Amino acid sequence: MYTIIITVIITVVVTLLCVVLAWWTRQFLIQRRAYKEELERSKFHTIHMSDFALFPGGRYVSSGNYSAEVFRDDILIPALNEHKNIRLDLDNVVGYASCFLEELFGGLVRKGFTKEEIDKRIKLVSIRNSLFKEIDHYLTEASKNTMQSAS
């Protein structure tokens, strides 16, 4: 009789210890992830496109105040001149016209930044994975055109 009670007590204690250990491990991992994310963020100056415009669009300043030219020349290039690394959050806007993205990123190359420098210094953040390929395409094409015109 006592052996059954002792076995039940030991089982309950071991189960409770396992639950507490699992909870503690989960809390530790959550805090560790938050610390790593904060450390990562602290290495970058963050720019949120949504702070610039909910509807960014147009290539040139003649297209309006929310054009790629305005964002690039008034916000992004000054930030690149002031900070080593930029975290550019592209989320929370309605969308991007291809002319906007080409002028923004291809225009950086035409303004003297290399594709390698842009890739190294600007961390793009978005839930829209297709943006990364599109932006990389514009950077690559602008780099090719810049090299061809230089030779």
**53 and 108, same structural domain?**
yes
Q: Length of the chain, please?
A: 151
Number of domains composing the chain: 2
Give CA–CA dist 38/69, Å, rounded.
31
Half-sphere exposure of 145 (CA within 13 A, CB side): 14
User: What is the per-residue pLDDT across 104-130, written as a single tens digit (0 to 9) for each?
Assistant: 999 999 999 999 999 999 999 999 999
Q: Which residue is listed with tokens 């297709």?
A: 130
pLDDT, residue 43, reads 79
Quote the domain boundaries for residue 50: 44-150
**58 and 15, same structural domain?**
no
**108 and 55, same structural domain?**
yes
**130 and 93, same structural domain?**
yes
**17 and 50, same structural domain?**
no
**32 and 18, same structural domain?**
yes
**104 and 36, same structural domain?**
no
Prediction pTM value? 0.71
Please state, rounded to an integer, the average pLDDT across all residues of the chain.
90
**85 and 48, same structural domain?**
yes
Let me know: does 94 contact 54? Beta carbons within 8 Å. yes
**108 and 69, same structural domain?**
yes
Predicted confidence (pLDDT) at residue 140 exceeds the cutoff of 80: yes
pLDDT band at 91 (very low <50, low <70, confident <90, very high): very high
Per DSSP, the residues of 79-145 read: HHHH-S-EEEE--SSS---HHHHIIIIIHHHHTT--HHHHHHHEEEE-S-THHHHHHHHHHHHHHHH
